[in-house]
Amino acid sequence: MKVIISYPPLDSDKGTPLLGQNRQFQWFSDPTYIYPIVPAAAATLLHRHNYQVIWNDAIALGWKYNKFLEFISLERPDIIVMETKTPVVSEHWRITKELKALGDDNWQPKIVLMGDHVTALPKETMANSEVDYLITGGNYDTSLLSLCEHLKKDTPLAPGIWYREDGKVKNSGQFRLTGDLDKLPFIDRELTNWRLYSEKNGNFRRLPGTYIMAARDCWWGRCSFCSWTTLYPGEEWQVRSPKNVLDEIGELINKYGVKEIMDDSGTFPVGKWLREFCQGMIERGYNKQVQLDCNMRLGVLKQDDWNLMAKAGFRFILLGLESANQSTLDRLNKNLKVEQITDGVRMAKKAGLSPHITVMVGYPWENMADTQNTIELAKKLFKKGWVDTLQATIVIPYPGTPLYQQCEENGWLKTKKWEEFDMRAPVMSTKTTDEEIRQLTQELYRSFVTPSFFLRKVLSIRGLDDIKFFWRAGRAVVGHLTDFKA
């Protein structure tokens, strides 16, 4: 059985979509590509079970749509699997129809969609498209294997798969995130064309870089806006053992010559797990061979933890600040105090790490002064030198999240056209105008451009890799300014 896991081209004058492995969809003027780790795990698992698998990220390959259709016609796969997200789901309905139309008397591909949007609203996609199957929940790998085995051997379907039977839409029950992640094979990097993602990513300072995932997805998993809590509810958190993750890092260093690794778990594990992992990095000497990056929550780690992480080879730490207003943090169920923000980034920086913060604007309950307060805090942290980089995004209530539910209850949504949920403009009614939000966001990016910032960067240059990194990072900032232009 031949399976193609694909990201079809999405031609748009908005830019290049950042779709795979992304919690908040965005079109980028200066494309960045994130390794879609869970779909890559699915490709690997199917391959291990003797399915013929083709990895086809036509977005990262820069293909035109016609080339993609020709490729599918030539390969004639039994199954085409696509990851989708709210702003492009209707595009995927159209593409599904066009893929089906390629079929003939001897060949008709089955189409499978997966992702947070179809997990939240499966009936909608079954009703509005010709899709054959939906995978709900975030374990794309084990779910897809179950579906293929079902089609090949008529074994029972794992829970969480939607299908059609006798003209009716049915499903195999509510998905469950069970299974031992340590038992899964390490991602087959060659099969999934890892080089496509090893350089065009602004986060990597050392090249080539790649991604791993120690956990699915975040041990907190309860923030009301977080789209991936739809795929991975916090109470069903799954984590690999430190040894298993270390073994994969060893393989990446020794087999692929990787110099930087981003762990893309929603939040990296903490406590005893983190200490054991860091000790392992030091004992195995990996801390001298590779730099690590990860997502972390503020308000959890003490100075000793940050110091140990730095010693273990961590460099770039992404931290969600979200808002400088306590009432907003509480509404978001962020479980964070404003004062923990400053303490956290200060400690991380003191340990020698490179903190990156994300802030969000466009909350329906925040007024201009509240938004300004957040922007001012971000600027202050940046000016103090406690954060190295920052990112501002417009908060989007994706279906399936508690925030979306609140929008429905309070009549906050200005639109239900899914293509507008792409972070270019607010989709919730706000007390600030769209123009004010755009200006504030641009102002934040412009605050980078200070003489002391450039001086700090120049002083931190240690070699050619650093110069190349700052060149790429500079282009990304200019790109972000363009992304938020009216």
Residues that bind ligand SF4 (CB under 6 A): 218, 220-223, 226, 228-229, 266-267, 297, 320
Shortest distance, position 198 Cβ to ligand SF4, whole Å: 24
Shortest distance, position 474 Cβ to ligand SF4, whole Å: 27
Residue closer to ligand SF4, measured from CB, 269 or 320: 320
Residue closer to ligand SF4, measured from CB, 129 or 323: 323
Residue closer to ligand SF4, measured from CB, 175 or 225: 225
117: left (phi over 0), alpha (psi -120 to 50) or beta: alpha
Contacts of residue 312, defined as CB under 8 A and 6 or more positions apart, other chains included, come to 277, 278, 279, 281, 282, 287, 292
Residue closer to ligand SF4, measured from CB, 96 or 229: 229
The two tokens of residue 178 are 């069970």
Pick from 319, 290, 342: which is nearest to 391 by CA? Answer: 319
Contact at 8 Å (CB) between 160 and 112? no
Shortest distance, position 265 Cβ to ligand SF4, whole Å: 8
Residue with token string 């003209």: 167
Element spanning 426, H or E? none
Shortest distance, position 222 Cβ to ligand SF4, whole Å: 6
The DSSP code for 413 is B
Integer Cα distance of 410 and 404 in angstroms:
10
Residue closer to ligand SF4, measured from CB, 33 or 228: 228
Contact at 8 Å (CB) between 132 and 110? yes
Shortest distance, position 429 Cβ to ligand SF4, whole Å: 23
Residue with token string 């978001």: 332
DSSP 291-334: EEEEEE-TTS--HHHHHHHHHTTEEEEEEEEE-S-HHHHHHTT-
Integer Cα distance of 312 and 281 in angstroms:
5
Residue closer to ligand SF4, measured from CB, 20 or 320: 320
Integer Cα distance of 34 and 57 in angstroms:
11
Shortest distance, position 473 Cβ to ligand SF4, whole Å: 23
Sheet holding 354-361, edge to edge: 209-212, 260-263, 291-296, 314-322, 354-361, 389-394
The two tokens of residue 368 are 């201009």
Residue closer to ligand SF4, measured from CB, 187 or 360: 360
Shortest distance, position 129 Cβ to ligand SF4, whole Å: 28
Shortest distance, position 381 Cβ to ligand SF4, whole Å: 18
Shortest distance, position 345 Cβ to ligand SF4, whole Å: 15
* Beta pairing class for 168-171 and 161-165: antiparallel
Residue closer to ligand SF4, measured from CB, 333 or 372: 333
Residue closer to ligand SF4, measured from CB, 142 or 229: 229
How deeply is 333 buried, as exposed, middle or buried, from its count of CB atoms within 10 A (0-12, 13-18, 19+)? middle
Contact at 8 Å (CB) between 82 and 111? yes
Integer Cα distance of 164 and 129 in angstroms:
12
Residue closer to ligand SF4, measured from CB, 326 or 450: 326
DSSP 173-193: -S----S-GGGSPPP-TTTTT
Residue closer to ligand SF4, measured from CB, 194 or 306: 306
Shortest distance, position 401 Cβ to ligand SF4, whole Å: 10
